[in-house]
Structure 1
């Protein structure tokens, strides 16, 4: 096919007028196909070419994944810079108490809560890559400014701004993965960039260990300055290389874009729409699947809020040396890489096991937390450390739950709204979690351990409920679809999963 679009008058009428679907109702990817005269026969030919599909996926991987992975690694390191700083001289240098430190962890997510939905809506209406890149540059700058603070108030203000500027990253990345990859490919790709939390724990530990040798300025100030400078530089790299969407991506030919659209249409979730549709927002708010994922995320991040901010202090209870504390935390990142990559790989390769993986990967966390709680921190230090290392299994469940709205819901606005709702729970959990870790209970934090065990048990129940709900919906649709002829409108419109009877949920 000639890559130059034919004039509109040359497009066959049947390819322009589709039932009652108007141009404003259509997914913008389908409008792109019509403007460039790609027919369904063309798309079927593209999809049948296995070599072309494989080469294109490899090209997308090489362009997108390093950018997403690098950003996520830096986001994790920057977010945990506070925990690394607390191991050194942050608290005495700023006259902060342990309770104030707990609030610093929560204040970050207050900013996240306020900003994440407005950022996501702005990203949908404008250029997603520019929103992401601008926020990376901004949060790196705030991190550097933190080094100039001298008290709780100044650092609290910086943490609030840091939460505001980091807010769109994960939401936008989940939408990007949902746009560029098929539903089968999505979990592992999301797992690749999210596993950079684990890699970030390794790199962050090594960097902090090196920074800890500095004698000229306070170590905690050096941590914020160096990490912030690296992030600002990375933001400009993202600004240049990250594409906004499939349609406007400069490094892909028209035929490659058409194939990406064809692959995306296989899941019937829609690909791209810059129009905010209020009926889809309403549908997201009444969908039980969304609220199950909301509660699952709230519980998951209550765990994360406690462990991520107090894990370094738990390790510090095993040794008096700050540098050794940092070094002992590095293996946790390697374990987290293992959990996330193995779980998302299984979810991508084996059909309909996502909710099962979400359930199973809670078990290592349960065992690890029990070890932290019940084993002696004086005589069984190695076992306690191992318990800490395996607590990260819940992160794989988190990744799959985060990906569910982008994978399992139709309609671009509904998906975006649902991702934002799930992230509201993400923020709320991270606000709640640190306050269960009471300073008087250090270094075991018994109350925190009890809360985590309760959250894990409730998550297991929710994973089962989600699977049963999706099985029931698919059975109902299978029964109803046998007598319903397929409409071309379902292919071209930006329909939600409720509106499209041909939509099927992944389990």
Structure 2
């Protein structure tokens, strides 16, 4: 034990906690270093070994990113099964109206809204990787069950349960990235798996194009059966290979785990703590940063709720051929990959420009929706297609916004709560969005275009406001550190599960 590590008083509850393998004032990473005798000198020596750090990050990438990317690709395809099916024979086969179709899109996110925080708490309290993997298997099963539906009521129940099982994926993935990577590395890694929405759009369109040739059963039922089977198999792979956290990961040696924990300490956000701390929940609720991100995400996903579910119907308004509609959707996926990877790459490479990128990448969305709204659809089909493709740039801004709580909120419970609140907004926006696209306005959807324009413009203002808030906080902390002679926290405090409000050394990423 180093000289700076706090020694528990004999007979106290803290000493009993240590004997039981739990230390409530340290996160799990701090406990691991404490138990295995890693001193601050040893940790610093490992951090200074640049080749060793690069090799370890490369190994983490090879283990984690394929699992996250594969899951996200399937999640997008499976979530979009409803939109793919609507292009074919879903509406006629189940006797659904356009209004009922809008409610199916929203019902998914009502379930998301209900289930996301409980899943988040369960993942924190138990085994994060197993929670995620079991849900992948469950939502694949639910897709296959959906193929048996013959009415709106049955579809609504299955859609709700699908939302329940998909709810933990994105927030848990953001927590995984926050755990395994430094703050500078997090945006691009999050961008890698989130860009798989675009990969999913391309693969999903190609798969659906192929499935559309089936003549033996209804095309929409074949879509759900095939996609569900693929997802179940992938979920089983995840159960075996996705680690729960750094401490329990079996594919890393003791020294590698210590180095990963040490790297996570650089951001002073902690690794993982299975103890729920109520004061950190309260702190998250009164932090203006959290609420700016809440409304930014709400507006973003109001855009997404309409664009994702009605985009293919807008294209269908340009052609009466379902297969051609699916094929014309493929470039949209490529555009989305470009938007996300380019924006998150810039955010990772250039210091403190994340909020600038969040605002800048809304410009193509604003331009695209204006073109879609004002161009005549009959005489400017190429222009409408181009506007549809560039409108999706807003997704890059979303990725950075979703990553912000993991980057800029310290204290594991506070960070989990912040992530949960932002994802509540994510759900609410996706519930609201589809209802701005009115059936009587098809295929122009003027009201939907106006809502997208208002939301994207508001997001630009929120991104600027967030930057001003975080800049002011950093300047105050820099001034306070100068007045106090720059004294830092002890090693024990650095390992403690402190929030960003409690830790004077914490600096916010802009």
Q: What TM-score comes out, normalization by structure 1 length?
A: 0.97
Q: Is the 8 A contact 2:201 2:332 kept in 1?
A: yes
Pairwise CA distance, 1:15: 3.5
Structure 2 gaps of 5+ residues are: 15-22
SS at match of 1:413: helix
CA distance in structure 2 between the partners assigned to 1:491 and 1:21 by the alignment? 21
**Deviation digits for residues 2-47 of structure 1, max 9, x if unmatched?**
xxxxxxxxx4554453999963111110110011111111111101
Q: How does 1:94-493 map to 2 (within 5 A)?
A: 94-482=94-482, 483=484, 485-488=487-490, 489-493=492-496
- Aligned partners of 1:150 and 1:355: how far apart in 2? 46
Paired position in structure 2 for 1:506: 509
For 1:464 and 1:48, the matched residues in 2 are separated by 36
For the residues of structure 2 that align with 1:34 and 1:16, how far apart are their CA atoms? Answer: 10
Contact 1:105/1:309, CA 8 A, preserved across alignment: yes
Residue 189 (structure 1) shift: 0.1
SS of the aligned residue for 2:329 comes to helix
Quote the residue 2:18 is aligned against.
none
Alignment: residue pair count: 497
Task: Tell me the C-alpha RMSD between the 2 structures.
Answer: 1.3
Partner SS, residue 393 of structure 2: helix
CA distance in 2, matches of 1:267, 1:338: 28
| Deviation per residue, 1:232-273 (Å, 9 max, x gap) | 000000000000000000000000000001100001111110
Partners of 1:198 and 1:336 within 8 A in 2: yes
- CA deviations 1:360-380 (Å, max 9, x no partner) are 000001111111111111111
Structure 1 residue 485: deviation in Å? 1.8
How far has the Cα of 1:490 moved from its partner?
A: 3.1
Retained in 1: the 8 A contact 2:2–2:39?
no
2: CA distance between counterparts of 1:481 and 1:32? 30
d(CA) in 1 for partners of 2:25 and 2:377? 61
Provide the C-alpha distance between the structure 1 equivalents of 2:314 and 2:442, rounded to a whole number of angstroms: 7
Deviates more, 1:180-189 or 1:28-37: 28-37
Please give the secondary structure, in 2, of the residue aligned with 1:62. Answer: helix
* 3-state SS of 2:351 partner: coil
3-state SS of 2:392 partner: helix
Instruction: Give the Cα–Cα distance (whole angstroms) in 2 for the partners of residues 112 and 14 of structure 1.
Output: 44
Contact residue 25 and residue 494 of structure 1 kept, 8 A? yes
The CA distance in 1 between the partners of 2:24 and 2:7, in whole Å, is: 13
CA distance in 2, matches of 1:322, 1:449: 23
Counterpart for residue 8 of structure 1: none
Which consecutive residues of structure 1, in runs of 5 or more, have no partner in the other structure?
1-10
**2:355 & 2:31 partners in 1: Cα distance?**
34
User: Is 2:354–2:400's contact at 8 Å kept on the other side of the alignment?
Assistant: yes
| SS in structure 1 at match of 2:497 | coil
CA contact (8 A) 1:367 1:391 kept: yes
Report the equivalent of 2:19. Answer: none
Secondary structure (helix, strand or coil) at the match of 2:44 reads helix
SS of the equivalent of 1:343 reads helix
Instruction: Using structure 2 for the length normalisation, give the TM-score.
Output: 0.96
CA distance in structure 1 between the partners assigned to 2:68 and 2:320 by the alignment: 37
Distance 2:81 2:188 in 1: 27
